A and B are shown apart, each in its own frame.
Chain A
Amino acid sequence: MPALPSFVPYLIHTLFPPWVRRPTEIGAEVMMVAGGAFIVYWLLKYKKLQWLWNEWLTTVDHKKIGIMYLVAAIIMLARGGLDALMLRTNLALPTAHFIGASEYNEVFTTHGTIMVFFMGMPLIFALFNVVVPLQIGSRDVAFPRLNAISFWLFAFAAALFNLSFVVGGSPNAGWTAYPPLTELAFNHTVGENYYFISLLMTGIGTTITGINFLVTILRMRAPGMTLMKMPLFTWATLNTSALILFAFPPFTIALLESLLDRLAATSFFTLSHGGMPMMYVNLFWLFGHPEVYILVLPAFGVFSEVVATFSRKKLFGYPSMVLSMTAIMVLAYGTWVHHFFTMGAGPAVNVFFGLSTMLIAIPTGVKVFNWILTMWGGRVQFTTPMLYFLAMIPTFVIGGATGVMLGAVPADYQFHNSYFVIAHFHEVLIGGTVFGLLAGVYYWWPKMFGYKLNDRQGKWAFWLFAGGFWPTFIPQYWLGLEGMTRRMYTYPLGMGWHTLNVISTIGGFIMGAGFLVLAANVLYSRRHQEKDLTGDAWDGRTLEWSIPSPAPEYNFAVIPTVDERDWWWQEKERRRQGEKPVVVKPEEIRPIAIPKNTPVPILLGAAFFMGAFGLVFSWWDIALAGLVAVFSILIYSWFQYDHYRILSAGEVRESEELLGRLGA
């Protein structure tokens, strides 16, 4: 143990090396400390600590976990968005040096990683958690405690990843983290350790979530709801969970082997000792390509619900919707090589993957036509979620068509690593995933909180966000064709890229303004929107709209029998024709077992965080302490048997009475 005087400078040098003492980093540090202090002050002043712990931090209720995912995703969207604006500012003018070259590397790395793993993934899990158990008539997910563990692993991993900005240094090898850029010999900072370890952590949580929702959907549907009677969002969740189940294991191994290369001197992807960097690239994209479908299938699910609800018609071609989504799920595994045609695997291999890439356009096209035909002859209501849907159609079609262009192997040798690729995947990921998830957030907001988001402000946010989107990304196709490569931090005057870059940056800031209006919309609506007492804010079609908003903790006092598609719509239709409504009968209410709150998930997340932090800096004693803590908590939890508390029939009856749900 070194004596204290030499210990302190060592710590300062390791934790705060020169590259985290630049103005942006210090600014972020001040903001983080001030923000943290304000939250603690607020909690103490209003004596909210106990409430926070009991209601949120130890909860295993899927609805609350969903809301926590949503909050985390919106915070991460702000961080990833700020990163994006820094990048765009640097590129606005030729030879601009708003941020330096090495800082630019860090910012595009954290932008990509955060947007995919810490914004996109939690946002889809937010919707899964809030919606799926309610759509299938279940009281919770199959494994409520594991669900909370997934969330806390994600939350602590996100905290760890963001910590890298101010402690030790950010990762800087791109969101794909290819070796040899990540090899210890060429990359000395701890940044890449942060990347691999935090993604391993959140990857464990994601895999568990995949298992959880597969089991929930396969085993816990309401009586009568066969697979082909499930709502489309539930279908999307089922397919996404299957993708997660098959895609994350190779990724785990790719991350683990890279991490071992850096921390334990193995020779997997090194340039010496027979290692092979291209093996990493294969393993990464074996995960990475299914990952883009993991992100976009839930958005397809949302659109299918939104377009049917707001066209007041049943979804056109339900069986073909299910079939095409499943086809996309299967095909997603056969395309990963199209991310590196230039590796030189040979014409036969490249042609196979080029064809499989183009094949995916067919089921996707089926979906687009079905959505459009759903609107045909319907009474379309132009609410905010519906606007996002309408904006998705052209962006996704153009983004998809350029994807087919990229799948043409010879042409790809020109497009590869240029801004054409950047434009393509932002167009499908924002135009598909983000529009879809925002539509979902607006659509299910009343189910989560009991009031709608203000529609007028929502439309302002929409027009700014979607309106800024086009000028941001469409010019980038031309920039790519004119030779601008991705990840360049600046460019000289006279390349002819000036005008298009200015337009793109202006578009980026308009999108940023859209995000601010969206945030204002949330804050305003919390105070000023009227409560929705019906539980059916949009005159919806599926089961979740048949119960009060927000749903009581047991969801359904009596689980309904669901023997048709759009059961709730059909039920309302029968009521309109004067049939007797199906209501909750007091005598049918039985006692309900509710999973108890538990501190195990958050403690497990904290233990993982401690071990991971030790690993980042190769402080083996701290890493070992974290491992011991993880195992102690697991063993403690193995010996716990009493996971449920019983809500008596009387209590449920009382609660339903208060919600005005009891029939005579």
Chain B
Amino acid sequence: MSSRALDDKAQKLQLAELPPEFQDQEESIKITGFWLFIVTDVLIFASLFATYAVFVNRIASGPTPAQVFQLNTALIETLILLTSSFTIGIAIWAMRQNRQRMVLAWLALTAALGMAFVSIELVEFAGDVAVGWGWHTSAFLSSFFLLVAAHGTHVTMGIIWAVALLFQLRKRGLTTVTRRKLYTFSLYWHFLDIMWVFIFTVVYLGGRLI
């Protein structure tokens, strides 16, 4: 019995070394679960990338990749999303310093940058569709729109999530539960950022090189 009590004490000391969002056993299990969710989402994107790679030259009577992509907008989108990854990073840093107002401000900024990103993407899509390059036109355009729109939909979900989080943080402050929620949100957001880096490289840059 005494050895078990010692174990408990050692475990508590060890836990105190961890960042706050991992200290509670139950919340830490939820973070593990969220990592596994990200694994499935990586595979979703992997399948979409595979489809795109197979279909990129199957343009039928539609436009070629070089005709469709505008590097300027894609570069602006990239910069916006990379900045938002930085801002959510600061929000997490502020959370670990227990500075709630700072967390709220940086989280709100992250969501705003996300909205700017989605808006630019929608304008880009609307431009393509306006000149008759819809996803019906060719297998290439189908796979392009699905891949990029899947990412855009993920960002939109992230924005809804961030807004819901803002309300919860304002109401409840930085508790064990809200810390974990904020932390999983940041994981999700960084993941979307990495996916976008791949899209920018493979789709937009690759499309201009071919």
Contact = CB atoms under 8 A, between A and B. Distances in A.
B166 interface: no
A245 B39 contact: yes
Contact of A273 (B29, B46, B47, B60): B60
B33 interface: yes
Contacts of A256: 146
A98 interface: no
Contact of B138 (A257, A273, A279): A273
Interface in A205-257: 207, 210-212, 214-215, 218-220, 245-246, 248-250, 252-254, 256-257
Interface of B is mostly: helix
B33 A143 contact: yes
A272 B145 CA distance: 18
Interface in B23-75: 29-30, 32-33, 36-37, 39-41, 43-44, 46-48, 50-51, 54-55, 58-60, 62
A359 B103 CA distance: 54
A211 B54 contact: no
B51 A257 contact: yes
B210 interface: no
B146 A267 contact: no
Interface stretch (A12-20, A58-66, A440-448, A633-641): A633-641
A248 B40 contact: yes
B54 A266 contact: no
B125 interface: no
21 contacts: A142-B33, A207-B40, A211-B40, A215-B32, A220-B29, A245-B40, A246-B39, A246-B43, A252-B44, A256-B146, A257-B146, A260-B146, A266-B145, A267-B137, A267-B141, A273-B136, A286-B47, A635-B160, A638-B164, A639-B167, A639-B168
A276 B139 contact: yes
A279 B55 contact: yes
Nearest to A211: B36
A600 interface: no
B186 interface: no
Q: Please indicate which of the listed interface residues A254, A257, A274, A283 has the most CB atoms of chain B within 10 Å of its own CB.
A: A274
Contacts of A265: 135-136
Given A211-B37, A639-B164, A266 B142 contact: yes
Interface string A509-530: 0000000000000000000000
A275 B160 CA distance: 34
B67 to A, nearest CB: 15
Interface in B115-151: 135-143, 145-146
B195 interface: no
A184 B121 CA distance: 30
A67 to B, nearest CB: 24
Contacts of B142: 257, 260, 266-268, 275
Interface of B: 29-30, 32-33, 36-37, 39-41, 43-44, 46-48, 50-51, 54-55, 58-60, 62, 135-143, 145-146, 160, 164, 167-168, 172, 177
A273 B133 CA distance: 12
Contacts of B58: 274-276
B27 to A, nearest CB: 12
A272 B33 CA distance: 42
Contacts of A250: 43, 46-47
Contact of A268 (B43, B143, B177): B143
Interface of A is mostly: helix
A635 B162 CA distance: 12
A639 B36 CA distance: 23
Contacts of A635: 160, 164
B139 A268 contact: yes
Contacts of A257: 51, 142, 146
A256 B153 CA distance: 14
A264 B141 CA distance: 13
Given A248-B40, A266-B146, A267-B138, A253 B32 contact: no
B47 A253 contact: yes
Contacts of A267: 60, 135-139, 141-142
Contacts of B59: 274
A590 B48 CA distance: 50
Interface in A61-100: none
Contacts of B50: 283
Contacts of B30: 142-143
Interface string A269-296: 0101111100100010010000000000
Interface in A109-144: 142-143
B119 to A, nearest CB: 20
Interface in A566-602: none
Contacts of A268: 51, 55, 139, 142-143, 146
B195 to A, nearest CB: 13
A219 B36 CA distance: 13
Contacts of B146: 256-257, 260, 266, 268
B84 to A, nearest CB: 21
A246 B47 CA distance: 11
A631 B51 CA distance: 29
Contacts of A270: 139
A215 B36 contact: yes
Nearest to B172: A641
Contacts of A249: 40-41, 43-44, 46-47
